[in-house]
Structures are given as C-alpha cells and as structure tokens.
Amino acid sequence: MPFVSVPLSICLTLSDVYDGLRLRTLLTYGEFEGNRNNSGYKLARNLLGTSNLLTRNRIAYHPEPRQLFDRYCVRCKPPLEPTEADTIWHSVNKTTAFASWDFGSIAMSIREWKSHRKSKNFLQGLWRWVQTDGQIVVDEQALNRARTQG
C-alpha cells in the first residue's frame, strides 16, 4: 500500500463545536476583529494538539500546523499582522496542547477521508466524461474492463 499523508484539517472538528468555534470554518473564513486573537489561540492549540496526537500514533499529516494557522491569520478580517500571529503562536507553545477530538474520532475521520479518496480515484479512472451536444457519454471500454476485473 502506498504511503499516504493525511490532511491535518480533516482531523479537526467540523460540525462539533469546540468552545463555541467551528474549527474548520476558521481555516476557511478566518475571524472578524474582536475575536481574532482568542479564536486564533484556540485554533492553534487544537492544531498543535492534533498534530502531536497524530505524531504519537505514527500518522503522517500535512501541512505543518503553523501553515494552517498562518492560513487562518491571512483570512481574518482584517488579517492578523505577522507580529501578532507570532505572539499567539509562541504563547500556544508554552504549555501542552490537546486535540479537541479523541484518537478514535480522529481515526474515524481519517478512514472516511481515505474511503472517499479511494472511491473518487476509482470513479475518475473508470469514467471518462465527454461533453457532446449537451450529453454526457461514458467510456464503454473502461466500463467493460471494470466489469471483467471485478
């Protein structure tokens, strides 16, 4: 089986609320002035805690937690200044950080991601979509090969 690095962001809470924050939403949209530092601190602690948990369990991930934190910082309105972001990041690193999910929940999220990734790759290899006169045409040769293989 080929080596697979897991996106760190899929190991963060999505619909679950962690201290009133939807962590993946923060990575996508940032935060508004007045909440940026507090939200950034909680996000950074969760990123570090989650990455530590993945590392302890020998699960490769990408990108590095600081890269995701920096993504959050530039998406804030207005964006956090680099010095402000550095202050938050250094503050977070002073104490042990913990993931908002337990390892079982993170493992389930990884399994779902791998399953979705596998089925998406399978379908992309199986179907060759061709747009002709507004109709979608299936690559019959690929479909027949798949039928005989499985």
The confidence score (pLDDT) of residue 53 equals 96
> Residue 24's pLDDT is what?
74
- Taking the complete model, does pTM exceed 0.85, yes or no? no
Q: Per mean pLDDT, which of 3-12, 21-30, 114-123, 138-147 is the most reliable?
A: 3-12
Q: What is the pLDDT of residue 86?
A: 98
Q: What is the pLDDT of residues 10-51, one digit of tens each?
A: 898 754 445 545 777 888 889 999 999 999 999 999 999 999
* pLDDT of 136 above 60: no
Predicted pLDDT at 150: 46
Q: How far is CA 128 from the centre of its chain?
A: 28
Note the pLDDT tens digit of each residue in 46-91.
Answer: 999 999 999 999 999 999 999 999 999 999 999 999 999 999 999 9
Give how far Cα 110 sits from Cα of 6, 75, 103, 104, 130, Å.
7, 26, 10, 10, 32
pLDDT at 134: 42
What pLDDT sits at residue 128?
42
Q: Give me the pLDDT at residue 26, please.
A: 86
Q: Residue 49: count other Cβ atoms within 10 Å of its Cβ.
A: 18
pLDDT for residue 25: 82
DSSP secondary structure, 52-93, as one string? HHHHHTT--EES-HHHHHHHHHHHSBSPPPHHHHHHHHHHHT
